[in-house]
Amino acid sequence: MEVTGEADFPPWRHPYLVVWESDAKFAVLTPNYRKLPESGGDGIYEGIDSVCCALISGEYQNAVQSRYSGTPIRLCKDKLLLSGHSAGGMLAMHAFLNHHALKPKHILLESPLLGPHVRSPHDVEYLGPHDVEYLGKPITIESLYQEATQFLVDLIFEGDPPIRLGSDPPNYMDLAVIMSTTRLRVVKNGVLQVCSLWEAFFRAEDIWTRLDRLQPLSETPTPTPMLSDEYIIDMREVLVMVGKKIRSGLQDDDEAFRLGKESLRKLGFSFNEEHGAIGYSVPTPAVKGLPLNCPSFTIIHGWSDVHVPIQSSAKLAAYIRNAYPKTAVCFLSPSKGHVFLDKADMNFLAFIQKRLLNSFIK
């Protein structure tokens, strides 16, 4: 099972992996999962849970056999490759931690996003030509605040936007950068804090919070970027703009603010007027404990990645080695960016293919 940003967008599936899967006669399941900000984290996890249950119960086997009724097909559930790229890495880890009956043979993670997505606004200064190619346009520090404000106005105005299942570049790629780079004041579980738009709209337990609850790894703390007061969105200003969009020609800011707050509640947020912050809660779900057995892992994260911190992948490798001393964990850090593994050295890609092959012939 591969979890990517868009199942029908070929570049999300790197050629080295497609070739290997074809040669190894793999049936590939690439679920299109719900996306932020239209869906929160719980809704996203729910979709992946449904896919995992279909794999475990045999429903997916039956669906494949029905489509190819003229050819007997048997899916070997004991030879499951679970892979995820970027946000798909978080969902691949969720599948592993939440569905012990899956029992994957190997887990492959590429630049996995595992925790709150927040970074310095100045990171946009390091976006290279390949990043701009995928984003569809250059993004500057100067444009961040304006675009984030307009995004919030449009989203809150819509109130209950339709769920989106795909992110085929350049569509929505600029939104991923904007949501992880600008900040909001929030009251989360009763505590006033500053976080990225990404974290505020995710509103669910991320992988690192879950792992730290299961078995803390104190010697390698989760990397937490410094949060300054730069580029904090003025939510009162946003709500006034929403109200004036709801009622065209409205001049009364107080009435516009009231209308904006009503629309904000449709998204599941409240507004704390004392702090100018949006309010929400994140429940702490019950956890099953770590799976008894752990498959071999390959974690790949480029040194030049300006979108997701490589330190998080390094910590995951250390965590798995500590929790499962007998598990083979390979952590690779090529000199590449976030989505450009297909441009890596051929010998490097051949090494990954060989490692995958060795994992499945044992």
CA–CA gap between residue 251 and residue 161 (Å, rounded): 26
Tell me, what's the pLDDT at 225? 45
Chain center to CA of 12: 14
**Domain boundary at 235, 260, 280, which?**
280
Tell me, what's the pLDDT at 227? 47
CA–CA gap between residue 108 and residue 106 (Å, rounded): 7
187 and 139 housed in the same domain: yes
Residue 126, beta-bridge partner list: none
Q: What is the radius of gyration, based on Cα positions, of the chain?
A: 21
pLDDT tens track, the chain, 362 positions: 665 555 555 556 666 677 767 777 777 777 878 888 888 899 999 999 999 999 999 998 888 888 888 888 888 888 899 999 888 999 999 999 999 999 999 999 999 999 887 777 777 777 777 677 767 778 888 888 888 999 999 999 987 776 777 666 667 778 888 888 889 999 999 999 999 999 999 999 999 999 998 887 755 444 444 445 567 899 999 999 999 999 999 999 999 999 999 999 999 999 999 999 999 999 888 878 999 999 999 999 988 888 888 999 999 999 999 999 999 999 998 887 776 555 667 787 788 888 888 888 66
Tell me, what's the pLDDT at 226? 42
110 and 239 housed in the same domain: no
Task: Decide: 95 and 178 in contact? Cβ < 8 Å.
Answer: no
Tell me, what's the pLDDT at 303? 86
138 and 273 housed in the same domain: yes
128 and 110 housed in the same domain: no
269 and 148 housed in the same domain: yes
**Domain boundary at 233, 252, 280, which?**
280
141 and 235 housed in the same domain: yes
108 and 135 housed in the same domain: no
Range of the structural domain that residue 164 is part of: 121-280
Render pLDDT for 190-204 as a digit per residue (tens, 0 to 9). 999 999 999 999 999
**Domain boundary at 259, 280, 301, which?**
280
298 and 273 housed in the same domain: no
273 and 151 housed in the same domain: yes
19 and 98 housed in the same domain: yes
136 and 258 housed in the same domain: yes
Q: How far is CA 143 from CA 140, 150, 181, 239, in A?
A: 5, 11, 11, 20
Tell me, what's the pLDDT at 175? 83
CA–CA gap between residue 110 and residue 88 (Å, rounded): 9
Q: What CATH number corresponds to the domain at position 323?
A: 3.40.50.1820
Tell me, what's the pLDDT at 74? 83
Domain count, the chain: 2
Tell me, what's the pLDDT at 356? 84
215 and 238 housed in the same domain: yes
Instruction: Look over the chain and give the mean of its residue pLDDT values, rounded to a whole number.
Output: 84
Angle at 193 between CA 192 and CA 197, to 5 degrees: 125
Neighbours of 16 (CB within 10 A): 18
Report the sign of the C-alpha dihedral through residues 334, 340, 344, 349, in that order.
positive
